[in-house]
C-alpha cells in the first residue's frame, strides 16, 4: 500500500485557472462555442461570465483546441489593469499578442526604387516590428491605427485559416476613463465591430466576472448585439459527482470515497468547481495519512471548511467595515441570498433582524461600496447578487456580528 500511495499523486487541483483532472459538464457551452466558430460571417462574439471559482478560465482553455481544430488562430492573455489603462496600452497588448501568432506569415511590400531602378517587391514577416511600423505610420486616432494593422493581418492570412480568436481573460478590468480622455474599452468594441462588418473573420472571446457585460453595453449600446453571453452556473449534482469520482477512478488510486463522503462534498461545495477541487484535495491527503496510519477514513468537514474560510473568504471579508458586515449578515439571512436580492428585501429583513435597521438610501450607498470591494454586484435588471460563491454560507458561519 505504501508504494501505491507514493506513486499515485493527489489528482485534485484547486489553483486559480488550473485544468482539473476531469472537466465535468460544460457540454452545452462547448457546443455553443462550436456554433460560433461555424459562422459564415462573424456576427456574434462570446462573453464567458460567472462568479469566481465557477471554471471560466478552465473552460476558455478548452475552447482553444476547438478553435485550432477548426483552423482558427488563437491569441490571448490576461487583461491586467496596466494593459487597459489607456488606448495605446490596449493596442500594444493586442499587437504583442497578435504578433506571436502571425510572425510566421508574410506580406508583400513594394520598396521604393533607388534613382532609376525599378520598384522592388519583397516579403516581410507579420512580426511585432512590422505590425508596430504599420500602427505608427497610419494617420488618425488609435482606433484608426489598430484597424489598419488588423486589416493588414486579415488580408495576409493563409487561405486555409478560419480566422483569429482574440481571447482575453479577466476582461472585467476593461474600462473607459473619461476623466483622462482614454477609452480603451470603447475602442476595442468599435474596432472589432467595424472589421466584422467588412467581413474579416476576427472574433472576441472575453471572460470575466458578471460585471463585464454591463460594462460592455454601457460603453457601446450595440455591444448587446455583438455578444453571445454564456453565464456559467454551478455544476449539477451528477456533474459534481463526476468531478469528484472520475479523478480517483484509476485502478492504481489508493483512495476511494464512500457514497456518504461524496454526498457531503457535493453539499458543502455547492457545485462550484473550485470548491470541489479544494475540498477533494484536502480529503484525499487526509485519507492517505489515515491509510498509512491504519486508521479509518472519514471527512473532517469542519476542519476543511475552516481552512477554506481562511484561504478563500477571509481576505475578501476583511475588505468590509463592521457596519458592512452587519449588512452582509442581513443579506445572508434572506432565503434567496444565493440568487438575487433587492434593496427592499434587505431593508425589510434588517427591520426583522437587527436593532438598528438600514434605510433604503443607506443600503444603496453601502451596496455601491461593497460592489467596489468585489463582494456584491448589480445585474442589468437592478437586482444584486453576492460576487463570491457561497459567501452567504461563510457569513453565517461567522455568527451574528450585532450580538
Instruction: Give residue 201's pLDDT.
Output: 93
Give the confidence band of 144 by pLDDT, cuts at 50, 70, 90.
very high
CB 81 within 8 A of CB 257: no
CA distance 140 to 187: 13
| Closest to 332 in 3D by CA, of 278, 280, 379, 393 | 393
HSE toward the beta carbon, residue 195, CA cutoff 13 A: 27
In order of 1, 91, 118, the CA distances from 246 in angstroms are 21, 43, 68
> What's the average model confidence in pLDDT over 94-101?
91
Average pLDDT score, the chain = 87
Find the range with the poorest average confidence among 6-10, 66-70, 235-239, 370-374: 6-10
CA distance 36 to 91: 25
Q: Which residues in 20-156 belong to E strands, given as ranges?
A: 45-49, 72-78, 106-111, 120-125
Which H or E element spans position 7?
helix 2-7
| Closest to 338 in 3D by CA, of 391, 378, 291, 287 | 391
Find the range with the poorest average confidence among 201-210, 289-298, 310-319, 391-400: 289-298
228: helix, strand or coil: strand
Give the confidence band of 4 by pLDDT, cuts at 50, 70, 90.
very low
In the block, cell 475602442 appears at 187
Instruction: Give residue 332's pLDDT.
Output: 93
Q: In this structure, what DSSP letter does residue 109 have?
A: E
Q: In this structure, what DSSP letter does residue 368 have?
A: H
Who contacts 130 (Cβ-Cβ below 8 Å, separation ≥6)?
Answer: 107, 124
Percentage of residues in the chain having pLDDT higher than 90: 48
Q: Is the pLDDT of residue 217 over 70?
A: yes
Exposed/middle/buried for residue 389 (C-beta within 10 Å: 0-12, 13-18, 19+): buried
- Across-strand partners of 165? 74, 203
186: helix, strand or coil: helix
In order of 99, 103, 130, 151, the CA distances from 106 in angstroms are 11, 8, 10, 14
Q: Is the pLDDT of residue 178 over 90?
A: no
> What's the average model confidence in pLDDT over 319-344?
92
> What's the average model confidence in pLDDT over 55-65?
92
Give the confidence band of 189 by pLDDT, cuts at 50, 70, 90.
very high
- Across-strand partners of 47? 206, 229
Instruction: Give residue 112's pLDDT.
Output: 66
Who contacts 66 (Cβ-Cβ below 8 Å, separation ≥6)?
Answer: 30, 33, 34, 37
> What's the average model confidence in pLDDT over 210-228?
90
CB 98 within 8 A of CB 198: no
Exposed/middle/buried for residue 20 (C-beta within 10 Å: 0-12, 13-18, 19+): buried
Instruction: Give residue 326's pLDDT.
Output: 93
Instruction: Give residue 345's pLDDT.
Output: 93
Give the confidence band of 250 by pLDDT, cuts at 50, 70, 90.
confident
Angle at 348 between CA 343 and CA 353, to 5 degrees: 120
> What's the average model confidence in pLDDT over 179-189?
91
CB 85 within 8 A of CB 179: no
Instruction: Give residue 69's pLDDT.
Output: 94
Q: Is the pLDDT of residue 5 over 60?
A: no
**pLDDT tens string 99-126:** 998 888 887 776 666 556 666 677 888 8
Count of beta carbons in the 10 Å neighbourhood of residue 270: 16
CA distance 364 to 343: 7
Q: Is the pLDDT of residue 247 over 60?
A: yes
CB 33 within 8 A of CB 214: no
Give the confidence band of 334 by pLDDT, cuts at 50, 70, 90.
very high
Instruction: Give residue 2's pLDDT.
Output: 40
Which H or E element spans position 392?
helix 391-398
Amino acid at each position: 500500500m505504501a508504494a501505491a500511495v507514493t506513486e499515485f499523486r493527489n489528482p485534485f487541483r484547486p489553483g486559480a485557472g488550473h485544468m482539473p483532472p476531469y472537466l465535468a459538464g460544460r457540454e452545452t457551452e462547448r457546443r455553443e462555442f462550436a456554433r460560433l466558430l461555424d459562422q459564415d460571417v462573424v456576427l456574434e462574439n462570446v462573453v464567458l461570465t460567472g462568479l469566481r471559482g465557477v471554471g471560466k478560465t478552465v473552460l476558455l482553455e478548452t475552447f482553444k483546441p476547438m478553435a485550432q481544430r477548426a483552423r482558427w488562430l488563437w491569441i490571448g492573455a490576461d487583461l491586467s489593469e496596466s494593459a487597459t489603462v489607456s488606448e495605446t496600452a490596449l493596442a500594444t497588448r493586442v499587437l504583442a499578442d497578435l504578433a506571436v501568432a502571425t510572425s510566421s506569415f508574410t506580406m508583400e511590400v513594394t520598396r521604393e526604387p533607388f534613382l532609376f531602378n525599378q520598384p522592388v517587391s519583397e516579403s516581410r514577416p507579420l512580426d511585432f516590428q512590422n505590425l508596430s511600423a504599420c500602427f505608427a505610420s497610419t494617420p488618425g486616432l488609435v482606433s484608426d491605427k489598430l484597424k489598419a494593422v488588423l486589416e493588414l493581418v486579415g488580408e495576409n492570412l493563409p487561405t486555409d485559416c478560419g480566422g483569429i480568436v482574440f481571447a482575453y481573460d479577466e476582461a472585467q478590468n476593461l474600462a473607459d476613463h473619461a476623466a483622462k480622455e482614454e477609452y480603451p474599452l470603447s475602442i476595442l468594441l468599435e474596432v472589432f465591430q467595424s472589421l466584422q462588418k467588412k467581413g474579416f473573420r476576427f472574433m472576441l472571446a472575453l471572460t470575466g466576472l458578471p460585471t463585464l457585460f454591463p460594462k460592455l453595453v454601457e460603453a457601446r449600446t450595440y455591444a448587446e448585439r455583438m455578444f453571445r453571453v454564456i453565464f456559467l452556473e454551478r455544476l449539477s449534482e451528477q456533474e459534481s459527482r463526476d468531478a469528484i469520482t472520475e479523478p480517483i477512478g484509476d485502478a492504481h488510486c489508493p483512495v476511494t470515497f464512500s457514497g456518504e463522503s461524496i454526498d457531503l462534498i457535493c453539499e458543502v461545495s455547492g457545485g462550484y468547481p473550485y470548491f470541489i477541487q479544494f475540498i477533494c484535495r484536502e480529503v484525499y491527503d487526509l485519507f492517505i495519512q489515515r491509510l498509512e496510519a491504519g486508521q479509518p477514513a472519514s471527512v473532517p468537514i469542519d476542519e476543511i471548511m475552516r481552512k477554506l474560510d481562511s484561504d478563500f473568504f477571509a481576505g475578501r471579508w476583511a475588505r468590509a467595515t463592521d457596519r458592512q458586515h452587519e449588512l452582509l449578515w442581513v443579506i445572508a439571512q434572506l432565503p434567496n441570498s444565493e440568487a438575487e436580492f433587492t434593496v427592499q428585501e434587505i431593508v425589510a429583513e434588517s427591520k426583522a433582524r437587527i436593532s438598528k435597521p438600514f434605510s433604503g438610501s443607506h443600503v444603496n450607498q453601502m451596496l455601491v461600496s461593497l460592489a467596489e470591494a468585489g463582494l456584491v454586484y448589480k445585474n442589468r435588471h437592478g437586482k444584486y447578487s453576492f460576487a463570491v460563491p457561497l459567501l452567504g454560507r461563510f457569513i453565517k458561519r461567522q455568527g451574528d456580528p450585532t450580538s
